[in-house]
Each structure stands twice: as structure tokens, then as C-alpha cells.
């Protein structure tokens, strides 16, 4: 079932014109905004149902809320009266704040930029679209006798429809505003409610049977002190053992040691051994390849930029070495080496935060360039995280081909295949 199509059938010309008059915007722009909001709200609810709390909260709101199928049927008539519109928009705004906390501003900015309307108008229209979406879901729950898990599955199934029917420039804004790049790239797994939710609570007498009896004051204190002493002794012994072995290891490595850090060497051997298990011993003697960027390369320029405190944050670097096998998210060997170099740079600059921005023009059907660009930037991000970089320091955004069919500039922007690294915080 394509929920997006069902919802947009409610956006008749009369509904659009009355909404446009209410927010004082052009009807064509208003229709663009309303349809965009349908896609955005569905995407937000789809993300919400990936957690058990979100599944229960949405289902409860639909069952006990004020919005139902009757409201959807009378939607055009409600928009005749400004006072009715005020109440509807306010109720919808409260509902979206409850279901998608801290997302209302992001949605407003995304839609105002997409439809070229005022931000306040986008927020008001969001308040009108939300009751329509929830009322339609309420109608489906009743007609199809859906439980919370079935409703979550219904929303998860909208992922393909979102990717296929959402204009690319809107999908970019939705993905970034709602932070759902990963869901669009790899799919949506709705959360399942635990059985504990429907289990009747035990009586007070039953619960009391599981309350431990208090310890006797004297014996309990002695036991606690004894256990504490044993733990301290064990910790002291373990600390001495580690310290002693560290000294022994350090002494052994001081003779004929290389200039490579021990931690980096361990990671390199583990990775290369997994990739080439039959590598001859002679190859091991050469030691790990350097993770220092080659002079003049994009990563070398990035490193130089980071070490210059006079240069402000915000600069982007196109990294040609981040090259993938055609139509896939598999990095070529040079790309894997570039990820290792970027890892070293970020470990050397622990305060740096970056955004990886990807473009793709070589997707193979049924995958689209948007989806491929997202999977590629996430592949790089995941490798950085596995190498020890905190995920908070790395943002990843896939922007499809970067080609804009509606571009009216003198120089058309061609479809791109590249990965950029933008320094957000130095």
C-alpha cells in the first residue's frame, strides 16, 4: 500500500486554495509545501517506529487522539472557517511536537526552502497536515484491524515509496532534517513491542514476595567490608601484574624498535592478515605501509589546513582517493588506504569534527544515485568508527548525483561522482 498516494488524494484544489489563503501564500507553492509535508511527516513517523517507545506512542496517539477518519472526510469543510483552522493547526502542531520531538523546526526549514514559502507558513501547514495523516492512519487501523506492530510494519513499507516518489531535492532535505540517511540507504526495521507491555501487573502481595529481607546490621556490615577488602586486593594485584608486564614489553621493544606506534601496527597487521591470509612471511618483514598522506594530495592539504590555527573551520576538500567499485559501496584499495590516512589525521586532531558529503552518478537499477551516495558515505563513516573515531565526530550526507533538473543557471551542474570532506569544527 502506498500511503503517500492515499494521503495526497485529500489535497483537493479547494483544500489547497483555502490553505493558501490562510497562510497568505501562492496556491502553487502551497500545494508543493503540502505534498512535501505529507512525505516528510510519513518519513518522520517511519523513523519513530524504529524504537519500541515510538511504536507504542504513535499507536496510543492514534487510538486515543482527537483525529480520526471522520476528520479526514470533513477536512475541506473545516478549512472554510478560520477559527476551525486555528484549532486544527494548533492541535496538529502539538501532536507533531509530541510524536517527533525537536523536529518541528527542522521540518519547517526543510519545507520553506523546498517550496519557497515563509517558515511560519510551513509550520502552520505542518499543523494542518498532521491531523490528516493521523486521521488516515486511524482509519486504516480500524478498517484493517491493525495492532501496533502491524502499523509499524505499514510505515516501514513506505521507505521504497518515499525514495521513488519524493523529488530528489526534497528527499535531500528530509534525509538531513530528520537524520534518516541510514534508514533510506539500508532499509527500515520496525521495532517489535515486548510481551511485557501486555502482561498484567502482579499484585502488591506478589511483588512483595520478591523483596529481599534486610540484612542483620552487624553481620551485613562485616560481609560488605570483607568483600570490599578482597576487591581492593584483587585490583592491586592486577594493577601490579599489568605494570610489570608493560615494563617488560617496553624494555624488549627499546632494542631495534621501529618508529611505528604499537597500536597502529597491531591494527594494520590484523586488517592485512584478514585481507591476505596467504601473504608470505617475507612481506611481513617490510612492516606496515605509512598512513601519512602523500605530499600534495587532498588529504595532505587537509592535514596542513587543520594544523594552521589561523584558518577558520568550514572548508571542504574533495578526496579523489575515495573511489568505489562501479555501482557499489565497496572502496577500491586506494580508497581503503585513504580512510586509514583520514583516521590518522583525526586521531592527531582529536577536536576535529567532519562531514562526509557524497555524490554518485553510477547507480545500477533498481538502486538510485541518492541511495548509492548515502551507502557510500556511511561505508566510510563506519570504517572510521571501527578504527576508533567517535561517531559523534563524523557526519555523513549523501546528495545523489548533485544534478538539479530545474537548474536555470547559465552553467548546468553536471552529475557528479565524488566524496568531499568538510571540516565542521577544527
**Domains of the chain with CATH codes:** 3-192 (no CATH), 298-425 (3.30.1330.60)
Mean pLDDT by groups of 10 residues along the chain of 426 residues? 92 93 94 96 93 90 80 85 89 90 88 93 94 93 92 92 88 86 79 54 41 41 52 60 46 35 29 34 37 76 93 92 92 93 95 92 86 91 92 86 56 73 92
In sequence order, the 6+-apart residues with CB closer than 8 A to the CB of 114 are: 32, 33, 36, 169, 170, 173
Res 184: pLDDT:
80
What pLDDT does residue 233 have?
A: 56
Confidence (pLDDT) at 380: 94
pLDDT at 128: 94
CA distances from 248 to 240, 251, 260, 262, 267 (A): 12, 5, 19, 15, 22
Q: Which three three-digit cell numbers place residue 27?
A: 496556491
Residue 169's pLDDT is 85
pLDDT given at position 226:
56
In this prediction, residue 75 carries a pLDDT of 83
Amino acid at each position: 500500500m502506498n500511503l503517500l498516494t492515499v494521503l495526497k488524494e485529500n489535497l483537493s484544489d479547494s483544500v489547497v486554495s483555502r490553505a493558501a489563503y490562510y497562510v497568505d501564500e501562492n496556491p502553487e507553492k502551497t500545494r508543493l509545501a503540502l505534498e512535501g509535508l505529507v512525505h516528510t511527516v510519513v518519513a518522520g513517523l517511519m523513523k519513530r517506529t524504529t524504537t519500541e517507545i515510538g511504536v507504542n506512542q504513535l499507536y496510543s496517539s492514534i487510538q486515543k487522539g482527537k483525529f480520526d477518519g471522520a476528520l479526514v472526510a470533513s477536512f475541506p469543510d473545516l478549512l472554510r472557517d478560520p477559527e476551525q483552522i486555528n484549532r486544527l493547526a494548533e492541535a496538529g502542531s502539538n501532536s507533531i511536537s509530541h510524536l517527533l520531538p525537536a523536529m518541528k523546526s527542522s521540518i519547517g526549514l526543510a519545507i520553506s526552502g523546498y517550496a519557497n514559502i515563509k517558515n511560519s507558513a510551513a509550520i502552520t501547514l505542518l499543523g494542518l497536515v498532521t491531523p490528516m495523516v493521523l486521521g488516515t492512519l486511524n482509519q486504516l487501523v480500524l478498517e484493517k484491524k491493525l495492532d501496533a506492530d502491524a502499523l509499524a510494519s505499514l510505515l516501514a513499507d513506505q521507505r521504497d515509496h518515499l525514495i521513488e516518489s519524493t523529488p530528489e531535492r526534497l528527499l535531500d532535505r528530509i534525509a538531513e532534517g530528520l537524520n534518516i540517511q541510514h534508514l533510506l540507504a539500508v532499509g527500515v526495521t520496525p521495532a517489535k513491542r515486548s510481551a511485557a507491555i501486555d502482561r498484567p501487573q502482579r499484585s502488591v502481595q506478589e511483588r512483595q514476595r520478591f523483596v529481599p529481607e534486610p540484612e542483620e546490621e552487624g553481620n551485613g556490615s562485616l560481609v560488605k567490608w570483607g568483600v570490599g577488602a578482597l576487591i581492593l586486593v584483587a585490583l592491586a594485584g592486577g594493577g601490579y601484574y599489568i605494570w610489570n608486564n608493560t615494563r617488560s614489553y617496553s624494555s624488549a621493544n627499546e632494542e631495534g624498535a621501529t618508529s611505528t606506534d604499537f597500536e597502529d601496527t597491531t591494527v594494520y597487521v590484523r586488517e592485512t592478515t584478514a585481507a591476505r591470509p596467504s601473504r608470505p612471511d617475507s612481506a611481513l618483514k617490510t612492516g606496515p605501509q605509512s598512513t601519512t598522506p602523500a605530499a600534495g594530495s587532498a588529504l595532505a592539504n587537509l592535514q596542513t589546513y587543520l594544523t594552521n590555527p589561523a584558518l577558520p573551520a568550514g572548508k571542504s576538500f574533495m578526496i579523489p582517493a575515495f573511489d568505489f567499485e562501479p555501482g557499489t559501496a565497496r572502496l577500491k584499495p586506494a580508497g581503503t588506504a585513504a580512510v586509514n590516512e583520514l583516521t590518522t589525521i583525526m586521531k592527531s586532531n582529536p577536536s576535529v569534527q567532519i562531514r562526509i558529503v557524497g555524490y554518485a552518478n553510477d547507480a545500477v537499477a533498481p538502486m538510485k544515485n541518492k541511495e548509492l551516495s548515502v551507502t557510500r558515505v556511511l561505508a566510510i563513516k563506519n570504517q572510521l568508527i571501527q578504527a576508533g573515531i567517535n561517531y559523534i565526530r563524523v557526519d555523513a550526507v549523501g546528495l545523489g548525483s548533485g544534478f538539479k533538473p530545474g537548474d536555470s543557471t547559465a552553467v548546468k551542474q553536471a552529475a557528479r561522482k565524488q566524496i568531499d570532506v568538510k571540516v565542521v569544527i577544527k
